[in-house]
Homo-oligomer: A and B are copies of this chain.
Amino acid sequence: MLGLMQNWPLTVDKILDHANACFPQREVVTRSVDGPITRSTYGAIWRRAKQVTNALRAADIAPGDRVATLAWNTDKHLEAWYGAMGMGAVLHTVNPRLFPEQIAWIMNHAEDKILLFDTTFLPIVEKVAPLLSTVKTYVAFTDRAHLPQSNLPLVAYEDFIAGHSSDAAWGGFQEDTACGLCYTSGTTGDPKGVLYSHRANVIHAMAANSVDCFGAGANDVVLPVVPMFHANAWAIAFVAPMCGAKLIMPGAKLDGASVYELLETERVTFTAAVPTVWLMLLNHLRDNNLRLSTLKRVAIGGSAVPEAVLRAFEDDYGVEVIHAWGMTEMSPIGTIGKLLPETVAADHETRIKTKLKQGRALFTVEMKIVDDEGVEKPHDGKAFGRLLVRGPAVARAYFKSAGARNDKGECIESDGFFDTGDVANIDELGYMQITDRAKDVIKSGGEWISSIDIENIAVGAEGVACAAVIGVRHPKWDERPLLIIEPKPGANPTREQLLGFLQGKIAKWWMPDDVALVEKIPIGATGKINKLALRETFKDYQLPSTGE
């Protein structure tokens, strides 16, 4: 028997409709790419987003068509975002940090029909344009006076929407309709497109703004430093209008001084970004002996929170750190580090240690860790296994099945769980901690050895600049760990010193069988050690027979 409730599809246009109905005067403040700080409101953004919809329709964009943006967080980007999504088109946020060739590949794969971009990215657009096969219209997020010179037939955004009515129908399609597209570039293979649905984005935004996650309300002032091209600015582009928070858009300037200026002048209470941004801010604070006078909470994700960043925010500046973990494929938030009563009551060091874990599952996210046979591992904080996730905002396949994991183009593990590609443990309280990438785990005699655990210890040894651990073939144990060391300039650590340093700090059978010194450990585009390159270099490495 079915319930008798109204049919009200969860589509993201309803979020901006709500902001327009309930918080029309709430400000959206932007550090514009053109220079000055500009002030808009949810009401004005709603009206201009409707104009965008009409302008897109006039430019022959139909529901389902991909509308690409190459842009920072600004009010205009937000207008284009809702203008495209509201009419059922798919907003494809392109990451400007990729190489032009990658951008071209992604945009051709997505078959983007139109590109809206910040003028700062014109050099990229001009490089990419000759390689694009489907883009027909180039719109620069500026007015005619600021339109740069180009050989491309550029349209100024203000001209693009000028004269169009602010009356346009939104929604009216099913909630599973595609809404956004975001490519994730792994270290291997082609980029893979995650095709978000309206439903997923609405549910995820509600979950991400729960009290123990972002926890924002109408009295908050929210600064998403994390870009909209980075997995929907971690949902903040949905969360802020949904709850009526004042929204501060940082534009192109993410340096410490610029972020600090916005935090203070706009009285920001909640902000979010990757650790790199916070290192810049913290350096700026220290160098200039500054305080944070209104900031209460900072969400940190994208990569693990460095201990120094956590301690600086919480101990030195009284700002609560929300350590969040997720993936583009998870819309993106999966877990949060918010303390539970059991850990709130613990001593300071235990609290810090807990907060450094990736965190506990949001409602709507299911997690499990399994061995290679799919058998679940216990949640004791020690046993580790492949991390699988499931939920309404988790990808079940990639756009056009590119880079998918099985023959059908689906990335489904057993029971419809998505394989994160990470290896993790989960403790008794539900806090998950990633211990390795699945492909980097060393499988020795049927047991798993975490390369990252050994690296994290080895990097503390004297004379070590960087440490990597990879598995190399072994006749008896299948794989055994090899410790690869990049010494500090002038240092010359020996095999005996290094292995001696590890002694007693790791299980005996985890002890690397050998040490290789290299001039430079290769680092990939995402700032992580390029293990693929290392495995290639050391693929024929002969371990000493003393290793057993």
Contacts and interface: CB of A to CB of B under 8 A. Distances in A.
Interface string A312-356: 000000000000000000010000001111101000000000000
A203 interface: yes
Closest 7 interchain pairs by CB? A3-B197, A211-B217, A1-B64, A8-B392, A5-B200, A4-B195, A212-B217
A246 B23 CA distance: 33
B243 A178 contact: no
Nearest to A246: B341
B364 A8 contact: yes
A340 B394 contact: no
B5 A90 contact: no
A177 B2 contact: yes
Given A21-B361, A218-B338, A344-B219, A3 B179 contact: yes
A55 interface: no
Interface in A1-59: 1-8, 10, 14-15, 17-18, 21-23, 25-26
Contacts of A398: 4
A87 interface: no
Nearest to A366: B21
A395 B22 contact: no
Interface in A360-395: 360-361, 363-364, 366-367, 390-395
A22 B195 contact: no
A390 B195 contact: no
A399 to B, nearest CB: 7
A207 interface: yes
Contact of A210 (B7, B199, B217, B394): B217
A215 B367 CA distance: 25
Task: Report the copy number of this chain in the oligomer.
Answer: 2
Contacts of A199: 3, 5
Contact of A4 (B206, B215, B363, B397): B397
A113 interface: no
B244 A340 contact: yes
Nearest to A214: B211
A197 B1 CA distance: 9
Nearest to A193: B4
A50 B216 CA distance: 35
B6 A391 contact: yes
Interface of A: 1-8, 10, 14-15, 17-18, 21-23, 25-26, 63-64, 90, 174, 176-179, 194-200, 203, 206-207, 209-212, 215-220, 242-244, 246, 331, 338-342, 344, 360-361, 363-364, 366-367, 390-399, 416, 418, 430
Contact of A212 (B14, B243, B364, B366): B243
20 contacts: A1-B90, A3-B176, A3-B178, A3-B179, A4-B197, A5-B197, A5-B394, A7-B396, A8-B392, A10-B203, A21-B361, A25-B342, A209-B210, A209-B211, A211-B211, A211-B216, A212-B217, A218-B340, A243-B363, A244-B340
Given A10-B203, A211-B215, A218-B340, 20 more contacts: A1-B177, A2-B197, A3-B177, A3-B179, A4-B195, A4-B399, A5-B199, A5-B200, A5-B392, A5-B394, A6-B392, A18-B363, A21-B430, A209-B211, A211-B220, A215-B217, A219-B339, A219-B340, A242-B363, A244-B340
Contacts of A18: 361, 363, 366
A197 to B, nearest CB: 3
Contact of A6 (B4, B8, B17, B394): B394
A280 to B, nearest CB: 29
Contacts of A25: 342
Nearest to A397: B4
Contacts of A198: 3
Contacts of A397: 4
A404 to B, nearest CB: 10
Contacts of A200: 3, 5
A247 to B, nearest CB: 13
A341 B197 contact: no
Contacts of A206: 203, 206-207, 210, 363
A228 to B, nearest CB: 18
A134 to B, nearest CB: 15
A490 B198 CA distance: 66
B194 A338 contact: no
Nearest to A412: B6
A536 to B, nearest CB: 32
A357 to B, nearest CB: 14
Contacts of A215: 211, 215, 217
B196 A5 contact: yes
Contacts of A220: 211
A27 to B, nearest CB: 10
A6 B391 CA distance: 6
Contacts of A393: 5
A430 B42 CA distance: 14
Contacts of A174: 2
